[in-house]
Amino acid sequence: MKILLLAIIFSLLTTAALAQTAPSDDRKAAAEVPDKLFAAMKAKSFEDIRATFTPDGQLVAIDKPKDGKGISKTRVFSAESFAKAISEAKGADFIEKMPNKDVRLSGDLAIVSGRYTFFLGEKLSHCGTNTFNLVRTEAGWKIANAASTLEFQCERDLKAVEIAPAEANPADVASIDGIIKAFYETISGGKGVPRQWSRDKTLYMPDVRFVAMSERDGKIRASLMNHNQYVNNTNEFLVAEGFQEREINRVVRRFGNIAHVFSVYEFTTEGGKTKGRGVNSIELFWDGARWWISSASWDEERPGNPIPKEFLDKKKQGGK
């Protein structure tokens, strides 16, 4: 048991730094493995469930208390015993959804993780986080081991935004001008207008990180998010309030295939109810075919934190 958990933790730590713009076919194939498992679970097919695992594959279920407090209990299943338990279960269909997957590749190892919801027919049973450690075999990607938390405070998961996969628009990623333009367009729109999250996701490297700076009660705070967390944290507000953000000036510094952009912005909500200004600090790289945003941080203008004059001189500095 301890060896299995250590293996999972070691895999997570050693591959976390290796997330990169991996070949799209490999990423897609790895991301499809959990969906194949979920389809087999819904069909309660022993053979199809078993086929998603390696011969000695395992699954760890981490049961959190129903009130979310206290120590979790852990159950370990072999692929065989898990497939048997699901295939012999009576009653409603098992419907598991994992809408937004984080896929990390390192050679013949892949980690697919993300939040999920689990329904018995139309009734919500639980939610949690799935982590699948996959290995490449002659028969394709297979689950070597998996770990899932079982949680019962699922409001955030029921509100999660599903982001459909999309290919990048060449006009968005061929230049710094294009990618910054798209950076603002994807999150802007009128009240009730869905945001362009699929397009937005194509602008970033898979392991992009966002840092939102703020100040409360005289203390500086930093909120660190991945793309899925950013979308789920902001979507409801952006759509409900008719949020619009636009660039008013830009300072670019580029060396070789890396670039940094200080992008000064102003924002308003519908009817001018809320407005303000701030600075986006955006890191980018050119991979020989397109630009990628590797990270973005931002801070708003406020008393004691004015935007520097050199950021507002209306002259774009730098290159495409």
Angle at CA of residue 149, ends 109 and 27, nearest 5°: 30
Q: Rounded to 5 degrees, what angle do the CA atoms 255, 259, 260 make?
A: 125
CA 206/CA 226 separation, integer angstroms: 9
Residue 320 has a pLDDT of 47
- Length in residues, the chain: 320
| DSSP at 67 | T
HSE, CB side, 13 Å, CA atoms: give it for residue 21. Answer: 16
Structure tokens at 72: 């979790």
Query: What's the pLDDT at 23?
Result: 61
Q: Which residue has the tokens 């950076």?
A: 183
Q: Are 49 and 41 in contact, with CB atoms under 8 Å apart?
A: yes
Number of Cβ within 10 Å of residue 194's Cβ equals 10
Domains and CATH numbers, the chain: 2-158 (3.10.450.50), 170-312 (3.10.450.50)
**Cα dist from 307 to 37, 251, 278, 293, whole Å:** 51, 13, 7, 23
CA dist 96 and 228 (Å) reads 18
315 vs 320: CA distance, rounded Å: 14
What is the per-residue pLDDT across 95-121, written as a single tens digit (0 to 9) for each? 999 988 989 999 999 999 999 999 999
R_g (Cα) of the chain, nearest Å: 22
Q: How far apart are CA 25 and CA 35, in angstroms?
A: 16
For residue 110, give the H/E element and its range: strand 109-120
> Which structure tokens are listed for 303?
């008393």
250: exposed, middle or buried (Cβ count in 10 Å: 0-12, 13-18, 19+): buried
At 107 the pLDDT is 93
pTM over 0.75? The answer is: no
| Other C-beta atoms lying within 10 Å of the C-beta of residue 170 | 10
Low-confidence ranges of the chain (pLDDT < 50): 1-21, 319-320
**pLDDT for the residue 314:** 67
Note the pLDDT of residue 69: 85
